[in-house]
Amino acid sequence: MKKTWENNALNIFKFISALLIVGSHCLPLFNNNFLNLFYGQYLFRFCVPLFFISTGYYFDKSDNNKRKKFIKRIFILYVCSTVLYFPLFMNSGVKQIIFNCLFGYYHLWYLNAVLLGTIFLYFFDNHLEIKSKKFYFLLLLILLISGIFFDEYNKILQIHFLDKLVLFFNKFGGGRNALFFAIPMLIIGKLIHNQKRFFEINWVKYFILLIFSVIVAFLEFLFLSKKIGLDITTDITLFNFVPSILLFILSFYLNSSLKLNDTKKMRKMADFIYVIHIYVIFILSRMFSLLHINLFIISSFISIFLSYVIITFFDRLKKSKKDAEI
């Protein structure tokens, strides 16, 4: 199968995922506790792993020059985003301000995790020169299982000797951080890129596995919600990231079989939607008292519009610079 840099199907998946993430931050959306729990702790949980896996794949596919540029770009985006959101946490106390700057305010933990995770991969690949797939697979298992059992499963199993570790890692978002979430997902993307046989399997088998994984992840969600109740936060569990892996792989099959238009702008918009949507939600909920589905719909439209304006502005700025050089 021909694999190009621009995966239009994946770009569409990312765009939809960004909107689902907007919805997760507008909860509650419905007048039903189970529907809100289903959306917030099951449906949208496929989205963030998809972004991480995609980053891991393309980061591994890149040469060192592109990797350095990517890390620099994420660092600049993280700093600019932190400055943008500083007015929202400037009165939270010195410790919290320092924490938000170092580890990410609210949703900006994702950019922080991408930054730290890609630096980690770059260091291991280029300075330690570790190329072994077995090493990365073992590291993936250790970090992933640790994150899973430091998160919701520890509440069920109640492993007392881990309680202090759990309390420590909860200060950094629990399982939702660079170490236990981003790095394992980035490694999955890296291993997919290194294992060409993934793309030699019939797409029907992947589709069947996707359906099966969605069902298993849903059953796990029901199990956790029954055991823990409405307070579950399934950032990462045993199965909820598996559909993301299969969606990512299937996107290449869709990309090669369907004649899709160029969706590069949609990919870029997804990133900016993620960054700006919390501000949009904050303003709409505070100034206009919007709630629930109305807040989600209007926040989505405004975030799409603003991201389009931002992308168009930067594209024209880049074009004008090129024209000036000519």
Which of 112-121, 165-174, 206-215, 233-242 has the lowest average pLDDT? Answer: 165-174
Give 79's pLDDT tier (boundaries 50, 70, 90).
very high
Specify the pTM: 0.94
128-137, 169-178, 241-250: which has the highest mean pLDDT? 241-250
What token pair was written down for 153?
A: 């499963």
The whole-number average pLDDT for the span 175-204 is: 92
Q: How confident is the model at residue 312 (pLDDT cuts 50, 70, 90)?
A: very high
Q: Write out the two tokens for 1.
A: 């199968």
Q: What percent of the chain has pLDDT over 70?
A: 97
**Which pLDDT score, from 0 to 100, does residue 321 have?**
76
Q: How confident is the model at residue 3 (pLDDT cuts 50, 70, 90)?
A: low
Is residue 172 scored above 60 in pLDDT? Answer: yes
**Helix 183-194 with 133-150: angle, nearest 10 deg:** 150
pLDDT at 24: 97
Burial code (b: 16+ CB inside 10 Å, e: under 16) for 275-284 equals: bbbbbbbbeb
Give the tens place of pLDDT for each residue, 284-310. Answer: 999 999 999 999 999 999 999 999 999
pLDDT score at 156: 85
**Integer Cα distance of 247 and 188 in angstroms:** 13
Q: Which amino acid is at 30?
A: F
Rounded to an integer, the average pLDDT of 199-222 is 97
Region 67-73 average pLDDT:
97
**In the block, residue with structure tokens 């995966």:** 7
Question: Using CA atoms, how far apart are residues 77 and 325, in angstroms rounded to an integer?
Answer: 26
**Band of residue 159 on the pLDDT scale cut at 50, 70, 90:** confident
Query: For the chain, what is the mean pLDDT?
Result: 92
The pLDDT assigned to 168 comes to: 76
- In tens, the pLDDT along 114-148 reads 999 999 999 999 988 888 899 999 999 999 998 88
Q: Confidence class of residue 69 from pLDDT cuts 50, 70 and 90? A: very high
Q: Which long-range contacts (CB under 8 A, 24 or more apart) does 69-77 make?
A: 70/118, 71/115, 71/118, 71/119, 71/122, 74/111, 74/114, 74/115, 74/118, 75/115, 77/111, 77/271, 77/275
| pLDDT given at position 261 | 77
Of the listed ranges 4-8, 271-275, 285-289, the least confidently predicted one is 4-8
pLDDT at 1: 53
Q: How confident is the model at residue 95 (pLDDT cuts 50, 70, 90)?
A: very high
Question: Which of the pair, 202 or 163, is modelled with greater confidence?
Answer: 202
Picking from 21, 15, 49, 18, the residue whose alpha carbon sits closest to that of residue 246 is: 49
The mean pLDDT value for 98-110 works out to 94
On whether the CB atoms of residues 307 and 273 are closer than 8 A, the answer is: yes
Please report which confidence band the pLDDT of residue 163 belongs to, taking 50, 70 and 90 as the band edges. Answer: confident
In the predicted model, is pLDDT for residue 4 greater than 70? no
pLDDT higher than 90, residue 190 = yes
Mean per-residue pLDDT for 92-104? 94
d(CA 59, CA 66): 8
